[in-house]
Amino acid sequence: MGRKLVGRTLALFLFAFILATLSGAYAWVSLEKHPYNEKRKGDPKRGMMIYGQLCVSCHGDKSMGDGVAAPAIDPKPANHTDQGRMGRLSDEHLYGATVGGGLEVNRSANMPAWGLYLDEGEVYDLVAFLRSLAPFRGK
Protein backbone atom coordinates (compact mmCIF):
# COMPACT_ATOMS: atom_id res chain seq x y z
CA MET A 1 0.00 0.00 0.00
CA GLY A 2 2.82 2.41 0.86
CA ARG A 3 4.54 1.90 -2.50
CA LYS A 4 1.35 2.70 -4.40
CA LEU A 5 0.95 5.94 -2.47
CA VAL A 6 4.56 6.92 -3.16
CA GLY A 7 4.14 5.99 -6.82
CA ARG A 8 0.95 8.01 -7.15
CA THR A 9 2.48 10.97 -5.34
CA LEU A 10 5.51 10.84 -7.61
CA ALA A 11 3.31 10.57 -10.71
CA LEU A 12 1.20 13.52 -9.55
CA PHE A 13 4.32 15.58 -8.85
CA LEU A 14 5.76 14.72 -12.28
CA PHE A 15 2.46 15.62 -13.98
CA ALA A 16 2.31 18.95 -12.12
CA PHE A 17 5.94 19.67 -12.99
CA ILE A 18 5.38 19.00 -16.69
CA LEU A 19 2.16 21.00 -16.72
CA ALA A 20 3.80 23.95 -14.98
CA THR A 21 6.75 23.86 -17.36
CA LEU A 22 4.64 23.61 -20.49
CA SER A 23 2.16 26.25 -19.40
CA GLY A 24 4.92 28.75 -18.76
CA ALA A 25 4.18 29.06 -15.04
CA TYR A 26 7.17 30.80 -13.58
CA ALA A 27 8.56 31.12 -10.07
CA TRP A 28 11.07 33.96 -10.18
CA VAL A 29 11.11 33.59 -13.94
CA SER A 30 9.21 36.76 -14.75
CA LEU A 31 11.60 38.94 -16.69
CA GLU A 32 9.58 41.96 -15.58
CA LYS A 33 10.50 41.20 -11.98
CA HIS A 34 14.04 40.10 -12.82
CA PRO A 35 15.14 42.03 -15.90
CA TYR A 36 18.50 41.48 -17.49
CA ASN A 37 21.26 43.57 -15.95
CA GLU A 38 24.00 44.25 -18.50
CA LYS A 39 26.45 45.20 -15.75
CA ARG A 40 26.19 41.82 -14.06
CA LYS A 41 28.61 39.20 -15.30
CA GLY A 42 28.71 35.50 -14.62
CA ASP A 43 31.52 33.02 -14.25
CA PRO A 44 31.94 30.87 -17.38
CA LYS A 45 33.61 28.07 -15.39
CA ARG A 46 30.59 27.75 -13.08
CA GLY A 47 28.37 28.09 -16.15
CA MET A 48 30.16 25.17 -17.79
CA MET A 49 29.40 22.99 -14.76
CA ILE A 50 25.70 23.94 -14.88
CA TYR A 51 25.64 23.39 -18.65
CA GLY A 52 27.05 19.91 -18.10
CA GLN A 53 24.24 19.10 -15.69
CA LEU A 54 21.27 20.64 -17.49
CA CYS A 55 22.03 21.28 -21.15
CA VAL A 56 24.26 18.50 -22.49
CA SER A 57 21.46 15.96 -22.95
CA CYS A 58 19.92 18.17 -25.65
CA HIS A 59 22.74 20.44 -26.83
CA GLY A 60 25.53 17.83 -26.63
CA ASP A 61 28.83 17.65 -24.80
CA LYS A 62 30.42 19.85 -27.46
CA SER A 63 27.40 22.22 -27.47
CA MET A 64 26.61 21.52 -31.12
CA GLY A 65 22.92 20.65 -30.67
CA ASP A 66 23.58 16.93 -30.96
CA GLY A 67 22.92 15.60 -27.46
CA VAL A 68 21.44 12.17 -26.84
CA ALA A 69 17.93 13.64 -26.67
CA ALA A 70 18.33 15.74 -29.84
CA PRO A 71 16.99 13.13 -32.31
CA ALA A 72 13.64 13.17 -30.50
CA ILE A 73 13.34 16.97 -30.46
CA ASP A 74 11.78 19.04 -33.23
CA PRO A 75 13.00 21.64 -33.92
CA LYS A 76 16.52 20.54 -33.16
CA PRO A 77 18.36 22.09 -30.19
CA ALA A 78 20.55 25.10 -30.94
CA ASN A 79 24.19 24.67 -31.85
CA HIS A 80 25.81 26.96 -29.29
CA THR A 81 29.10 26.95 -31.21
CA ASP A 82 27.52 28.41 -34.37
CA GLN A 83 29.32 31.76 -34.54
CA GLY A 84 26.96 33.10 -37.21
CA ARG A 85 23.78 32.51 -35.21
CA MET A 86 25.01 32.81 -31.64
CA GLY A 87 27.17 35.84 -32.44
CA ARG A 88 24.02 37.77 -33.39
CA LEU A 89 22.18 36.94 -30.16
CA SER A 90 22.65 39.44 -27.35
CA ASP A 91 23.44 38.40 -23.80
CA GLU A 92 19.97 39.67 -22.90
CA HIS A 93 18.47 37.22 -25.41
CA LEU A 94 20.49 34.33 -23.94
CA TYR A 95 19.42 35.36 -20.45
CA GLY A 96 15.75 35.49 -21.50
CA ALA A 97 15.94 32.09 -23.20
CA THR A 98 17.58 30.56 -20.15
CA VAL A 99 15.21 32.11 -17.62
CA GLY A 100 11.93 31.87 -19.48
CA GLY A 101 12.59 29.07 -21.94
CA GLY A 102 12.27 29.10 -25.69
CA LEU A 103 8.83 30.66 -25.71
CA GLU A 104 10.17 33.72 -23.87
CA VAL A 105 12.26 34.56 -26.94
CA ASN A 106 9.81 33.34 -29.58
CA ARG A 107 11.61 30.06 -30.10
CA SER A 108 10.79 26.43 -29.37
CA ALA A 109 8.63 25.38 -26.43
CA ASN A 110 11.02 22.43 -26.07
CA MET A 111 13.56 24.70 -24.37
CA PRO A 112 12.68 24.61 -20.65
CA ALA A 113 12.42 27.68 -18.44
CA TRP A 114 15.49 27.06 -16.30
CA GLY A 115 14.64 30.10 -14.19
CA LEU A 116 12.32 27.75 -12.34
CA TYR A 117 15.36 25.90 -10.99
CA LEU A 118 18.34 28.24 -11.14
CA ASP A 119 19.02 31.36 -9.16
CA GLU A 120 19.93 34.55 -11.00
CA GLY A 121 23.67 34.08 -10.45
CA GLU A 122 23.55 30.65 -12.06
CA VAL A 123 21.71 32.08 -15.07
CA TYR A 124 24.42 34.73 -15.52
CA ASP A 125 27.03 31.97 -15.19
CA LEU A 126 25.33 30.02 -18.00
CA VAL A 127 25.17 33.13 -20.19
CA ALA A 128 28.90 33.70 -19.58
CA PHE A 129 29.65 30.11 -20.59
CA LEU A 130 27.53 30.38 -23.75
CA ARG A 131 29.28 33.62 -24.62
CA SER A 132 32.66 31.90 -24.20
CA LEU A 133 31.59 29.51 -26.97
CA ALA A 134 30.50 32.26 -29.37
CA PRO A 135 31.28 35.92 -28.68
CA PHE A 136 28.64 38.55 -29.43
CA ARG A 137 29.39 40.15 -32.79
CA GLY A 138 26.33 42.35 -33.09
CA LYS A 139 23.33 42.14 -35.34
The HSE-up count of residue 20 (CA atoms within 13 Å, CB side) is 15
Residue 2: inside a domain: no
Residues 6 or more apart whose Cβ sits within 8 Å of residue 76:
65, 70
Q: What is the CATH number of the domain that holds 104?
A: 1.10.760.10
Residue 13: inside a domain: no
Q: How confident is the model at residue 35 (pLDDT cuts 50, 70, 90)?
A: confident
Residue 19: inside a domain: no
pLDDT at residue number 138: 82
Residue 5: inside a domain: no
* Domain range enclosing 40: 28-133
Mean of pLDDT values over 74-84: 96
Is pLDDT at 83 greater than 50 in this prediction? yes
Q: What percent of the chain has pLDDT over 90?
A: 68
As for how many domains the chain has, the answer is: 1
Residue 22: inside a domain: no
Residue 58: name the closest of 38, 45, 40, 72 by CA.
72
Residue 41: inside a domain: yes
Residue 126: inside a domain: yes
Residue 9: inside a domain: no
Top pLDDT among 27 and 50 is at 50
